[in-house]
Amino acid sequence: MPKTFKKVLVANRGEIAVRVMRTLREMGIASTAIYSDVDRAALHVRVADEAYPIGPAAASESYLRIDKVVDTAKKAGCDAIHPGYGFLSENADFVDACERAGITFIGPPASAMRNMGSKTAARKRMADAGVPIVPGAMCDTTDEAIAASNKIGYPVMLKASAGGGGKGIRLVNAASEMASAWERARSEAKKFFGDDTVYIEKAILTPRHVEIQVLGDRDGNLVHVFERDCSIQRRNQKVVEETPSPAASRELVAKMGEIAVKGAKAVGYFSAGTFEFLLAPDGAFYFLEMNTRLQVEHPVTELVTGLDLVREMVLIAQGEKLGFAQSDLETRGAAIECRIYAEDPASGFLPSPGKIESLVTPAGPGIRDDGGAYPGCVISSFYDPLISKLSVWAPTRERAVARMRRALSEYIVTGIRTNLAFHEKLFAHPDFVAGRYDTGFLDRHHDVLLGYATVPAEHREKVAVAVALAAARMERATGAKEAVTGEKGARLTPWVAAHRSNMLRR
């Protein structure tokens, strides 16, 4: 019998916590936030109906403490917990703890998490279910790894079995590189996941990274919600996602979707989840992993389908059946998402924590900004430096690209460095505009997208722009109406002056 939640604890922070709380409010469900010592003034705390301290800044002592999260939910009288993504979202022990406490976990069952949580176990399970997987092998020593790689054929990838987010991954081009890559991959895997198990996988050259969204209820009804192309990556981590994929036909997407649904049914899956595939240039695709949670890039799927995936997760957790079949689902137009990070692309995308002095987000037709920051807030060094997810929708990909360029030009952040300038360069690159890219795109175009040699005009204008910004600030402070003079005597509005100065700070 379906139930109705009255209060849900959101076991997360930042933009995803805010995003979940917005849907809860639309559904008439009260939201409870948790916060660490450094997140006391965070946006998600302000948005929630109530908030409780959870512990020190370190995630291991706050957001990752199962006992504290569950105890807080009980104390607050919550019916359920939504985990967002990251932190405890794919922790089967957390699901078990919720069930023992009589609290509903808004997500998949612990059994599915355990089946798919280990990449090596997931590969075997999916192979048994008939899902195509990349040739690979489990090895215990470098000698075994070299022997297996010689059989598979170089290049190969070393991957952490319990990994994710681009951690614990190394590309090996020859046997001579194996020993050092093996140790580095294991060390990183141990550091980030507490498990140094790694495995070998054939490296597919110039692939696209295409994923399939799945959604299922507790009664076994499962559908796929089409694809997302996540091939623009830095350090094996996604930074831009779009749907539909420029590289996949509707027939191919349907085939991938059928395979994903088949794989999900094999592990008794329900709620939202994602099957990730490598799409080779010849059209062959191979299973990478399944993310048993909501994805960061879920907004683009929502924009083209009209679904609210968080709402669907809540309804499923309440025991309701899916309100649609596969034949009812269709997409309209194109959507693209940019992850706006507090980081410095020119310095290897190193995080750039600090206080945001000013923040102006874009608006207008077809624009969605899922943010977790506000002017005056601090981007902490303790957590992922994601500021927001900027998404756009348009009737065609060409118009979506143009709309994103316009949106990026309106996005202003001062006080910290961001990757906004990188995104603007990317969306001006002719190959990206044409949809010609793969997972190695950023590495091949590093100088154009991450360097400054191609835009010396910005440096030449530095002094002039600084003066223009100072004048704009003076105008706001004094009410002066005289516009700042720009190039060729043109009148430079305070908005444009601020934007140009912002470009220099990124």
Residues with catalytic annotation?
293
Please provide the distance, in angstroms rounded to a whole number, between the alpha carbons at the two ends of the chain: 53
- Distance between CA atoms of residues 136 and 152, nearest Å: 7
Q: Print burial letters for 37-73: b (CB count within 10 Å at least 16), e (below 16).
A: ebbeebbbbebbeebbebbeeebeebbbbbebbbebb
DSSP per-residue letters across 383-435? S--EEEEEEEEESSHHHHHHHHHHHHHH-EEESS--SHHHHHHHTT-HHHHTT
- Distance between CA atoms of residues 228 and 247, nearest Å: 11
Q: Print burial letters for 270-304: b (CB count within 10 Å at least 16), e (below 16).
A: bbbbbbbbbbbeeeebbbbbbbbbbbbbbbbbbbb
Minimal CA–CA distance to 172: which of 188, 158, 185, 160?
A: 158
30-36 and 50-55 as β-strands: parallel, antiparallel, unpaired?
parallel
Q: CA–CA distance from 100 to each of 83, 95, 117 (Å)? A: 17, 9, 21
Minimal CA–CA distance to 373: which of 344, 413, 422, 423?
A: 413
- Distance between CA atoms of residues 399 and 419, nearest Å: 22
Minimal CA–CA distance to 82: which of 386, 274, 293?
A: 293
Kindly give the interhelix angle for 66-76 and 92-100, rounded to the nearest 10 degrees. Answer: 30
**Sign of torsion, CA 8 322 121 109?**
positive
3-state secondary structure of 282: coil
Task: Give phi and psi for 463, each to the nearest 5.
Answer: -65, -45
Report whether 176 contacts 208 (CB < 8 A): no
* Other CB atoms within 10 A of residue 457 CB: 9
Q: Report residue 198 as tokens.
A: 């790694």
Question: Residue 320 burial (CB < 10 Å; 0-12/13-18/19+)?
Answer: middle
Q: Report residue 383 as tokens.
A: 């957590």
* Beta pairing partners, 200: 137, 158
* Other CB atoms within 10 A of residue 430 CB: 7
- Distance between CA atoms of residues 452 and 294, nearest Å: 36
